[in-house]
Amino acid sequence: MRKVVIHRPGGYERLCIEQHADLVPGPGEVLVEVEAIGVNYADCVTRMGLYASAKQYVGFPVTPGFEVAGHVAALGEGVSDIAIGTEVMAVTRFNAYASQLVVKRVLVFPKPERLSMQQAAGFAAVFLTAWFGLFELAHPRDGQSILVHSAAGGVGGALVQLGRIAACQVVGVVGSAHKIDQVRQMGAHAVIDKSSEDLWQAAERLAPGGYDVILDANGVSTLKQSYRHLAPLGKLVVYGFHSMLPRKGGRPNRLRLLWDYYRTPRFSPFSLTTRNRSVLGFNLSFLFDRSELMRAAMEQLMRWLEEGRIQPPAIHSYAFDQVARAHRDLESGQTVGKLVLLCRD
């Protein structure tokens, strides 16, 4: 089998493609012959040596990646409810950048017929992240207002669609004009292009009383203002800190990281109670022990997919050997939708 191995943190040159022995599933596990792999920003942060769950659960060397699509190649002891050859998608805590993956049966799902292998590989991580942030944490109600930062990205696009399912008024934020149409097509009621207008003036114009839910993966660049623009009983959901990391070069600036760390707002419990606001945070990679909840979320998402209520993100595919280019493009902030690595020609 081939897999990407990062032996120590750094830039794109740390993404080494290596040959390793084929895998064998253990009890309760499934061996997936991988055809496509979803690329997520967390993979880039893992490469830089800054991803907390990678430090806690794996260390170095590490093979990044959280999601794949392919077919079942072998079954471990005790697994009898899925056939060899079945087309599937699977989620995993790391190890996805490989031509084979062994994963617990509970985290393997039949590939929906309407999805290609590339679309299936790019579906789970972004929609599970959006589902957890919106429905497990924020619990929006009909007619409430939602502001989604980075709305043209994989998670952002999923949040826009799920916000519409929740019958909310969804405002998406993008960083360049070429992303506006994509976000509108996903169902945003309004789109703010912060490259051509002041983000917060536009946000106030669209929701003068503040937002009931704001979903923010930017970190220090927007967190303070996101909190200030909550309505009474509003909820700020934090799931990333992308603005602290580089858009070029692939290596973080340690001094800037330290400076941004100290500039990141701390939320006082006195302020939270007197202003009637909430700040919530999560990281999906720390929730793999909640596999039954993850499975319930996936089953609901796949029902919505089959009903046509959600659409997979736009896909940009790269050959497996182009993994460094995929990371570079994703970090640039110019991509729309989801990036996928192909293990098969």
Domain with CATH 3.40.50.720 in the chain: 126-284
What is the pLDDT averaged over residues 155-164? 96
Asked if pLDDT for residue 252 goes beyond 90, the answer is: no
Query: Between 288 and 103, where is the model more confident?
Result: 103
For residue 138, what are the CA distances in angstroms to 72, 186, 235, 277, 281? 36, 20, 6, 12, 10
Q: What is the mean pLDDT of residues 272-282?
A: 94
Q: For position 237, what pLDDT does the model report? A: 97
Please give the Cα distance from 210 to 214 (Å, whole number): 10
Rounded distance between C-alpha atoms, residue 234 and residue 244, angstroms:
25
- What confidence score (pLDDT) does residue 160 get? 97
Closest CA to 186 of 215, 214, 218, 159: 159
pLDDT at 145: 97
Q: Which of 9-18, 176-185, 251-260 has the lowest mean pLDDT?
A: 251-260
pLDDT per residue as tens digits for the range 32-71: 999 999 999 999 999 999 999 999 999 999 999 999 999 9
Q: 5-15: per-residue pLDDT in tens?
A: 999 999 999 99
Q: Helical H runs in 176-322? A: 180-185, 199-206, 223-228, 254-263, 269-275, 291-306
Q: What percent of the chain has pLDDT over 90?
A: 83
Mean pLDDT of 19-27: 96
Mean pLDDT score, 268-276: 92
CB 75 within 8 A of CB 84: yes
Greater confidence, 334 or 109? Answer: 109
Give the CATH superfamily of 2-123+312-342: Medium-chain alcohol dehydrogenases, catalytic domain (3.90.180.10)
Check whether domain 126-284 has CATH 3.40.50.720, yes or no: yes
pLDDT in tens, 279-310: 999 999 998 888 889 889 999 999 999 999 99
* Residues carrying CATH 3.90.180.10, the chain: 2-123+312-342
Per-residue pLDDT band at 248 (split at 50, 70, 90):
confident
Distance between CA atoms of 159 and 34, rounded to whole angstroms?
27
pLDDT value of position 345: 55
Question: Residue 263 in 3-state DSSP?
Answer: helix
